């Protein structure tokens, strides 16, 4: 089967006619044609520290062109595609310590099962595979009754989050920063279920299958079937979940059953979960081969074609952060202190520090950083700043993990599918 079966057209970006009229040129042509003074004029204020702004950078105030998308149970999301449904949250809607369901991004690979087909009373989960000793099918009720329940707050992030910034552009959903969230998940340990069914000594991987429908409508085709090494599947935090924030999982986020594997790409966390296989080999389901969810094993030049044998599966996600308050574009009184806050996370690692900069990275100030509530949860950072004079500023945030790895100020290494962009997040502020 093809790893990109229907080769859909590039998704819509949400740019409106009004925005197009305001900015009737591409970002690249803008940089080629306009000076710092012209950009200041377009913003309507002096770009303070503009002499320190990296060459080729577009002020974030000129790149804010998203329009809201409404769908049942969701609020304020930005639509990126409608087949399959793809939508993300603007950064300021991710300010809650625990991401509410209405603000959690939607990333579907196929067509979601209709709600009428998702009856929890009739839902079953099959455990099978070459390395499963006792293939078993559980009802959802049996899963809840047989195994201990656990609730953990864990980050869920698409591997392509930030893809829109790569140049040359790569095929795929053009996410900005909002394909991430950190709700509370309740379920049973994947390990407990697998051990109940028996794990043979030759077990290497697990793989999942969901009830979503292929974009072609062909019920014989699999939309997505990914997995993780058995070691990851057996971690304490790897869960089969049936609730989010104490309620049913939202329909488009996988109700009534999904996987949650903390610190790894969201594509490993199968939705509308119907079957888990214990494999005696690396799982080879749909979107596990080719260049799907894989990175080059060595740095490559932008636009390069990388041989399949030189691509490796993405595992732990990189260190990253967001500025979630205030909303980008704020006008702030010069005399007042401005409170800043956001979240930081680091895949399977912990965040050690978060710094902010007002002068395009020339200087950095350390923030107050909270510990995670549990492994794989994001961490709240807060700080206060004053602006030296009236004008346009950008607040940049940079997280560093406990291994000493920091977010880059510029785009990280280009890769064919535009994965793992963890460049510093920035928002626009105008001191008045």
Tens-binned pLDDT, residue by residue, of the chain (432 aa)? 333 333 333 333 333 323 332 233 344 444 444 567 667 766 778 889 988 888 767 788 776 554 544 678 899 999 898 889 999 999 999 999 999 999 999 999 999 999 999 999 999 999 999 999 999 999 999 999 999 999 999 999 999 999 999 999 999 999 999 999 999 999 999 999 999 999 999 999 999 999 999 999 999 999 999 999 999 999 999 999 999 999 999 999 999 999 999 999 999 999 999 999 999 999 999 999 999 999 999 999 999 999 999 999 999 999 999 999 999 999 999 999 999 999 999 999 999 999 999 999 999 999 999 999 999 999 999 999 999 999 999 999 999 999 999 999 999 999 999 999 999 999 999 999
Q: List the CATH number of the domain containing 325.
A: 2.60.40.650
Residues 176 and 230 reside in one and the same domain: yes
Please identify, among 269, 289, 309, the residue that sits at the C-terminal boundary of a domain: 289
Q: Which helix (H) or strand (E) holds 192?
A: helix 190-197
Q: Using alpha carbons only, how large is the chain's radius of gyration in Å?
A: 22
Residues 268 and 343 reside in one and the same domain: no
Residues 193 and 150 reside in one and the same domain: yes
CA distance 116 to 85: 18
Is this model's pTM higher than 0.85 or not? yes
Answer for the pair 216, 270: CB distance below 8 angstroms, yes or no.
Answer: no
Torsion, Cα of 29, 175, 39, 43 (10° steps): 140
CA distance 426 to 60: 7
Answer left, alpha or beta for residue 37, where phi above 0 means left and psi between -120 and 50 means alpha.
alpha
CB atoms within 10 A of CB 179: 25
Please identify, among 266, 289, 312, the residue that sits at the C-terminal boundary of a domain: 289
Residues 142 and 279 reside in one and the same domain: yes
The two most distant CA atoms of the chain are separated, in Å, by 70
| 55 within domain boundaries | no
CA distance 322 to 135: 43
pLDDT of residue 17: 29
| 91 within domain boundaries | no
- Where b means 16+ CB within 10 Å and e means fewer, 183-198 reads bbbbbbbbbbbbeebe
Q: List the CATH number of the domain containing 166.
A: 3.90.420.10
pLDDT of residue 108: 95
CA distance 347 to 268: 13
**Tokens coding 32:** 């080629």
Residues 216 and 345 reside in one and the same domain: no
Residues 120 and 211 reside in one and the same domain: yes
| 95 within domain boundaries | no
Answer for the pair 402, 349: CB distance below 8 angstroms, yes or no.
Answer: yes
| 45 within domain boundaries | no
| 313 within domain boundaries | no
User: Nearest to residue 402, comparing CAs of 362, 358, 369, 373?
Assistant: 369
pLDDT of residue 64: 59
| 10 within domain boundaries | no
User: Nearest to residue 421, comparing CAs of 321, 312, 278, 274?
Assistant: 321
pLDDT of residue 56: 64
Residues 259 and 368 reside in one and the same domain: no
| 411 within domain boundaries | yes
Would you give the distance in Å from CA 72 to the centre of its chain?
21
CA distance 360 to 381: 19
CA distance 144 to 401: 36
pLDDT of residue 71: 79
Residues 262 and 404 reside in one and the same domain: no
Residues 244 and 110 reside in one and the same domain: yes
Torsion, Cα of 92, 96, 101, 102 (10° steps): -40
Domain count, the chain: 2
Answer for the pair 283, 212: CB distance below 8 angstroms, yes or no.
Answer: no
Question: DSSP character for 133?
Answer: S
Residues 375 and 272 reside in one and the same domain: no
Residues 278 and 409 reside in one and the same domain: no
CA distance 124 to 273: 9
Query: Range of 417's domain?
Result: 320-431
pLDDT of residue 42: 65
CA distance 360 to 60: 12
Please identify, among 271, 289, 307, the residue that sits at the C-terminal boundary of a domain: 289
Answer for the pair 381, 367: CB distance below 8 angstroms, yes or no.
Answer: yes
| 355 within domain boundaries | yes
Residues 146 and 230 reside in one and the same domain: yes
Establish how many alpha carbons lie within 13 A of residue 160's alpha carbon, considering only the half-sphere containing its beta carbon.
25
CA distance 84 to 215: 7
Answer for the pair 172, 416: CB distance below 8 angstroms, yes or no.
Answer: no
């Amino acid at each position: 089967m093809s790893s990109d079966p229907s080769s859909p057209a590039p998704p819509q970006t949400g740019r409106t006619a009004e925005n197009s009229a305001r900015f009737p040129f591409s970002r690249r042509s803008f940089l080629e044609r306009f000076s710092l003074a012209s950009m200041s004029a377009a913003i309507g204020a002096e770009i303070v520290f503009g002499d320190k702004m990296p060459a080729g950078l577009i002020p974030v105030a000129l790149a804010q062109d998203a329009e809201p998308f409404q769908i049942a149970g969701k609020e304020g999301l930005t639509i990126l595609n409608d087949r399959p449904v793809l939508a993300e949250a603007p950064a300021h809607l991710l300010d809650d310590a625990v991401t509410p369901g209405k603000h959690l991004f939607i990333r579907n690979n196929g067509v979601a099962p209709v709600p009428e087909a998702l009856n929890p009373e009739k839902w079953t989960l099959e455990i099978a595979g070459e390395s499963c000793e006792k293939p078993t099918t559980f009802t959802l009720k049996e899963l809840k009754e047989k195994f201990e329940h656990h609730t953990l707050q864990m980050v869920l992030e698409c591997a392509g989050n930030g893809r829109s910034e790569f140049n040359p552009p790569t095929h795929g959903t053009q996410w900005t920063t909002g394909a991430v969230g950190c709700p509370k998940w309740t379920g049973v340990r994947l390990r407990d279920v697998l051990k109940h069914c028996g794990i043979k000594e030759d077990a290497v991987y697990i793989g999942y299958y969901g009830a979503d429908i292929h974009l072609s409508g062909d019920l014989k085709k699999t939309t997505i079937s990914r997995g993780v090494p058995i070691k990851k599947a057996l971690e304490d935090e790897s869960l089969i979940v049936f609730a989010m924030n104490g309620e049913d999982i939202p329909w488009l986020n996988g109700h009534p059953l999904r996987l949650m594997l903390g610190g790894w790409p969201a594509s490993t966390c199968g939705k509308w979960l119907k079957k888990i296989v214990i494999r005696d080999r690396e799982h080879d389901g749909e979107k596990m081969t080719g260049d799907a969810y894989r990175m080059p094993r060595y740095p490559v030049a932008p636009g390069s074609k990388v041989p399949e044998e030189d691509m490796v599966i993405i595992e732990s996600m990189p260190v990253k952060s967001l500025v979630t308050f205030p909303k980008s574009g704020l006008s702030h009184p010069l005399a007042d202190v401005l409170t800043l806050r956001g979240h930081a996370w680091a895949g399977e690692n912990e965040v050690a520090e978060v710094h902010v900069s007002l002068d395009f990275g020339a200087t950095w100030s350390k923030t107050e950083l909270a510990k995670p509530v549990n492994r794989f949860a994001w961490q709240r950072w807060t700080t206060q700043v004053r602006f030296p004079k009236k004008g346009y500023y950008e607040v940049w945030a940079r997280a560093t993990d406990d291994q000493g790895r920091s977010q880059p100020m510029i785009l990280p290494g280009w890769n064919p599918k535009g994965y793992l962009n963890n460049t510093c997040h920035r928002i626009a502020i105008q001191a008045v």
